[in-house]
Amino acid sequence: MENEKREKFIVPIGPQHPALKEPGHFEFTVDGETVTGATVRLGYVHRGIEKATEDRNWTQNLYLLERICGICSHSHAMAYSLGVEKLAGVAVPPRAQAIRQVTAELERIHSHLLWLGVAAHEAGFDTLFMFSWRDRETIMDILEELTGNRVNYSVNVLGGVKIDIDTERADSIRKGMDFLEERTTHYLKVVTSDETFLRRTRGVGFTTTEQAETLGLVGPTARAANVARDVRVDVPYITYADFPITITLDTRGDLEARFVVRIKELFECYRVIRLILDKLPAGELTTRMPRKIKEGETVSRIEAPRGELFYFIKSGGGEKPERVKVRTPSINNFALVTGTAVGHQLADMPMILAGMDPCFSCNDR
Amino acid sequence: MKLRFASMFGDMFRSLFKKPVTEMYPFKKTSAPPRLRGELMYNPEKCTGCQLCVKDCPSNAIELITVDKANKHFVMRYHLDRCTFCAQCVENCRFECLGMSNEQWELAALNKESFTVHYGREEDLQKLLGKPLP
């Protein structure tokens, strides 16, 4: 009709339960079933952790910051420890560094398997969800046996680690890796060949390499669009120079590529964990840390399971930090949702959102 | 790669002949791993009262009460409901007075009182709490 005015129709999703189990608000402008615009609003789980660090001493903050995220807790604690150790000018013993790397890689396996299940669940593929989470239990048991807890492992202390890896535990890790490697091979086959599932992933949420760089994507989401960006390779920290990982890239840039990259990264984790266990450096686990950290400021960057995790730490020379600033990978990757939503079906939105592996708790702090 | 339908049918079919993977807790209990961090345990015999455990506790779960400073008698008031089970106190203690139990981890209770635990020599506890212990 000539005078017909097409009005915008906005579908609000969230803040409660926007496909995932964490709060975030999304507004999708739709034309029929097709999305024509997307906005995101965050901050629903803001807990004031950064401010709270100013009231606690250096050691207490380690545990506060570890609780920013339930999935990548070790990454937060490690990034903070590395920063504080750099400020204090303390060299951490090689064995402690290697144990930190083992825990970080074990955590990456658990995070990626968790994500695989969640993303499959969003696609309606609950069989993959159930089975991948059953297998994830292997890694949770390993972490519990090794560190004493399933989440918030509390492996780090300032100046080293608390736990040691003995032969018995190394064997149980190796056994777990063998089992998981076999299962991961199967899952890689499933996500690249199941026709029903591929209809939800192939060509969905596509980004070119240029777009990914413009949006500032990080982690596996960027690597799936052929952006070679990985802190473990670019600026090796702890023992990543001695036990290097190979960067996993994919040229396709769609959801399928994100599945493939994360699953292929798992093989890299299994390989590097076995390598470290075979060549675990001998020596002390901790070194002495001063209670007061000398005045100064530093940044510390590590590769969390979702991408680059950034810490800025400022010390005034006392027992407490003056400022701790955390930037998590999810804030970069949210641009993917708003940037690629246009032109897709509304039903693809949960998949695009889950595909970047968002962590609202990390992001809001 | 050749496309397939129902690629996980094999997994599902095999599962039909297996027991459920779910553990039958609390009817059947499996023992916790040795390193599990459960309730904090305190041995007053070797404690010097240096307060390092109190200083670094991220959740203020520990109070160390001096009963007799000269003879190094201390009572530890441990707030179980505040504890985050991070084991920093265990790490800090130079005299190995502290440890985390891998047996005491089912810590839920219906009353608030059971979340405040006192550790110490029996005579010190009696002196402090003013009544004989049950």
Query: Where do the structural domains in chain B lie, given as residue ranges?
Result: 33-129
Residues of chain B in contact with residue A59, where contact means CB-CB under 8 angstroms, are: 56, 58, 88
Tell me the ipTM for this assembly: 0.85
Question: Per mean pLDDT, which of A22-26, A278-282, A335-339 is the most reliable?
Answer: A278-282
* Residue of A195, A287, A292 to mutate, interface with B, max B Cβ within 10 Å: A195
Which residue spans within chain A are E strands per DSSP?
A: 9-13, 25-31, 34-41, 156-157, 160-161, 296-304, 307-315, 321-327
User: Which residue's structure tokens are 């920290």?
Assistant: A237
Q: Please give the full DSSP string across A247-268, using - where no structure is assigned.
A: PP--SS-SHHHHHHHHHHHHHH
Note the pLDDT of residue A61: 93
Q: Is A325 on the interface with B (CB under 8 A)?
A: no
CB pairs under 8 A between A and B: 79
B39 touches B101 (CB < 8 A):
yes
Mind listing the pLDDT tens digit for each residue in A111-157? Answer: 999 999 999 998 888 899 999 999 999 999 999 999 989 889 999 99
In this prediction, residue A18 carries a pLDDT of 65
What pLDDT band is residue A14 in, cutting at 50, 70 and 90? Answer: confident
Measured CA to CA, the distance from residue A350 to residue A355 in angstroms comes to 8
Q: A338 CB near a chain B CB, below 8 Å?
A: no
Q: Is A163 on the interface with B (CB under 8 A)?
A: yes
Please tell me the number of Cα atoms within 13 Å of A154 on its side-chain side.
22
CATH tag, B33-129: 3.30.70.3270
Q: Which secondary-structure segment (H or E) carries B62?
A: strand B62-68
Q: How do residues A260-295 score in pLDDT, each as one tens digit?
A: 999 999 999 999 999 999 999 988 899 988 888 989
A interface test, pick of B56, B85, B100 with most A CB neighbours within 10 Å = B56
Which residues are registered as beta bridge partners of A286? A160
Task: Kindly tell me if the per-residue pLDDT of A302 is higher than 80.
Answer: yes
What confidence score (pLDDT) does residue A1 get? 47
Give the rounded percent of residues in chain A with a pLDDT score beyond 70.
Answer: 98
Rg of chain A over all Cα atoms, to the nearest angstrom: 21
**Which residues in chain B land under pLDDT 70?**
1-2, 131-134
Backbone angles phi, psi at B82, to 5 degrees: -95, -25
Interface residue A154 vs chain B (CB under 8 A): yes
Mean pLDDT over residues A10-14, rounded?
85
Helix (H, G, I), strand (E, B) or coil at A5: coil
Backbone angles phi, psi at A42, to 5 degrees: -120, 180
Q: Mind telling me how many Å the CA of B5 is from chain A's nearest CA?
A: 6
Residue A2 has pLDDT above 60, yes or no: no
Model's pTM, two decimal places?
A: 0.89
- pLDDT value, residue A6: 64
Please state the rounded mean pLDDT for residues A344-360.
86
Instruction: Write b or e for each residue in A4-33: b if 16 or more Cβ atoms lie within 10 A of its Cβ, otherwise e.
Output: eeeeeeeeebbbeebbbebbbbbebbbeee
Whether residue A352 has pLDDT greater than 90: no
Q: Does B84 touch chain A (CB under 8 A)?
A: yes
State whether residue A287 sits within 8 Å of chain B by CB.
no
- State the Rg of chain B over Cα: 23
Check: CB of residue A319 under 8 Å from CB of residue A342: no
Lowest-pLDDT range, A8-17, A81-90, A283-292, B108-117? A8-17
Domains and CATH numbers, chain A: 9-364 (1.10.645.10)
pLDDT at A283: 87
User: Is the CB of A196 inside 8 Å of chain B's CB atoms?
Assistant: yes
The shortest C-alpha distance from A358 to chain B (Å) reads 26
Residue to mutate among B21, B31, B35, B86, with most A CBs inside 10 A, is B86
Do A196 and B2 count as a contact with CB atoms less than 8 A apart? Answer: no
- The answer for residues whose C-beta is within 8 angstroms of residue A204's C-beta and 6 or more apart is A254, A255, A256, A344, A348, A351, A352, A355
